[in-house]
Amino acid sequence: MRKKVTIVGAGNVGATTAHWLAAKELADVVLVDVVEGIPQGKALDLLQAMPVEGCDVSITGDNDYGPTAGSDVVVITAGFPRKPGMSRDDLLKANAQIVQTATEKAVQASPQCILIVVTNPLDAMCEVARRTSGFPRNRVLGMAGVLDSARFRTFIAAELKVSVDNVHAFVLGGHGDQMVPLPRFSTVAGVPIPELLDAATIERLVKRTAAGGGEIVSLLKTGSAYYAPSRAIVEMVDAILKDKHKILPCAAYLEGEFGMRGLFLGVPCKLGATGLESVFEVTLTVEEQAALGKSADAVRELVAALG
Ligand SMILES: NC(=O)c1ccc[n+]([C@@H]2O[C@H](COP(=O)([O-])OP(=O)(O)OC[C@H]3O[C@@H](n4cnc5c(N)ncnc54)[C@H](O)[C@@H]3O)[C@@H](O)[C@H]2O)c1
């Protein structure tokens, strides 16, 4: 039997996630949205692309959670995106309500699912989903690090004029201006980038990575990035559905790892069929640990504001 993935929110990120998932023939897809006709219309349009793509998957859309029953993975993208001049944190209150409702209904229909939260502000929304679902930590994950590290990889590859395939990047911390890209664990064909680029260049690429989402928001003016975010979501879904034991940077609820407890933060996670299998810990320098601590403080502040 084919796997089943529900995507809540059939907007830019949600619908594009459905597109990548279907084109990879990874799972049957159910799109859910509050706006009548949008999930149905987008699902039907995408379904009609499948004969051309040669993929046998079912893609349906609904305003109700009934058809989502028994999903293996539920991706939550429902919520407002940023507009120019807004930070991710400005979205806190409005999106918390949406994520709570979406989680309640999704887990009622799919009590065994693995939740991947995408709605911003990401780390705080993961906490909303965790509290609402009551799921153990292995079944609540947030997507941000795969996207942030893909942005860092893009800039490193362009700077060194090498294939993106040769570049691995390591990003920790919350999804926001406090993210912590780690150059000494970021490599080109296995060589750490501090051996290939001077410190000023690395600093420039790190800054562009941390501001990567904002750069796109200011260009689009009416919304935020969705091609790279949705492809990053599918990387996590793929690792889970194929039980790959793949290490990817994700937001996970920490229980002592990296010296942190009781909050979601971006860390390297081993993903497989049960969701989060383990956090892949590395030893950080004093400066890196301090930067991660600052990032954690920003997440704690937002979670406290949730009440
Ligand atoms: N974590 C990341 O790295 C990352 C990257 C990109 C975007 N995002 C976030 O993802 C979210 C979605 O972004 P987008 O560009 O797709 O926005 P969008 O406005 O295009 O789509 C959001 C969709 O959610 C729907 N929605 C609203 N309330 C709902 C509810 N209660 N139930 C079901 N659907 C509901 C809306 O009708 C809309 O179709 C935003 O919060 C954005 O900031 C996160």
- C-beta 224 within 6 A of ligand 1: yes
Superfamily (CATH) of domain 4-142: NAD(P)-binding Rossmann-like Domain (3.40.50.720)
86, pLDDT greater than 80 = no
> Which one is predicted more confidently, 51 or 93?
51
Spatial CB neighbours of 232, under 8 Å, sequence gap ≥ 6: 143, 146, 147, 150
Query: In this structure, what DSSP letter does residue 200 have?
Result: H
Q: Which of 32, 33, 68, 91 to mutate to test the pocket of ligand 1 (most atoms within 8 A of CB)?
A: 33
Mean per-residue pLDDT, 16-21: 98
| Strand, helix or coil for residue 223 | coil
Cβ partners under 8 Å of residue 214, min gap 6: 82
Q: Record the tokens describing residue 240, joined without a space.
A: 């889970």
Distance in Å, CA 26 to ligand 1 centroid? 22
Instruction: Decide: 146 and 232 in contact? Cβ < 8 Å.
Output: yes
- Give, as one character, the DSSP assignment of residue 206: H
Residue 251: enclosing H or E segment and its boundaries?
strand 246-255
Residue 80: how many other CB atoms lie within 10 Å = 16
Residue 175: pLDDT band with limits 50, 70, 90: confident
Which candidate, 122, 162, 157, 160, places its Cα nearest to that of 141? 122
Work out the pLDDT band at 2, boundaries 50, 70, 90. very high
11 CA distance to ligand 1 centroid (A)?
6
Are 4-142 and 145-306 equal in CATH topology? no
Cis omega (within 30 of 0) for bond into 181: no
Instruction: Check pocket membership of 79 for ligand 1, CB cut-off 6 A.
Output: yes
Query: What is the phi/psi pair of residue 249, to 5°?
Result: -75, 120
Q: Is 20 helix (H, G, I), strand (E, B) or coil?
A: helix
Give the architecture (CATH level 2) of 145-306.
Alpha-Beta Complex (3.90)
Instruction: Check whether 198 has a pLDDT greater than 90.
Output: yes
Give per-residue pLDDT as tens, 295-305. Answer: 999 999 999 99
Q: For 270-297, what is each residue's pLDDT tens digit?
A: 999 999 999 999 999 999 999 999 999 9
Side-chain-side CA neighbours of 288 within 13 Å: the count stands at 15
Q: How far is the CA of 211 from the centre of ligand 1 (A)?
A: 19
- The answer, yes or no, to whether any atom of ligand 1 lies below 6 A from the CB of 216, is no
CA 176 to chain centre: 12
Dist. CA 248–CA 259, nearest whole Å: 20
Q: How confident is the model at residue 83 (pLDDT cuts 50, 70, 90)?
A: confident
Q: What is the pLDDT of residue 174?
A: 86
> Is 87 a residue whose pLDDT tops 90?
no
User: Is 222 exposed, middle or buried, given 0-12, 13-18 or 19+ CB atoms closer than 10 A?
Assistant: exposed
Q: Where are the domains of the chain?
A: 4-142, 145-306
- Residue in 17, 6, 34 with CA at minimum distance from that of residue 101: 34
Which residue, 108, 98, 100, 37, is CA-closest to 68?
108
Q: What does DSSP say about strands 114-117 and 28-32: parallel, antiparallel, or unpaired?
A: unpaired
Mean pLDDT of 54-62: 97
Q: Is 245 a catalytic residue?
A: no
Q: What is the pLDDT of residue 84?
A: 81
Would you state the pLDDT for residue 80? 87
Mutate-to-test residue for ligand 1 from 34, 64, 237, highest number of ligand atoms within 8 A of CB = 34
Candidate ranges 78-82, 91-95, 225-229; pick with highest mean pLDDT: 225-229
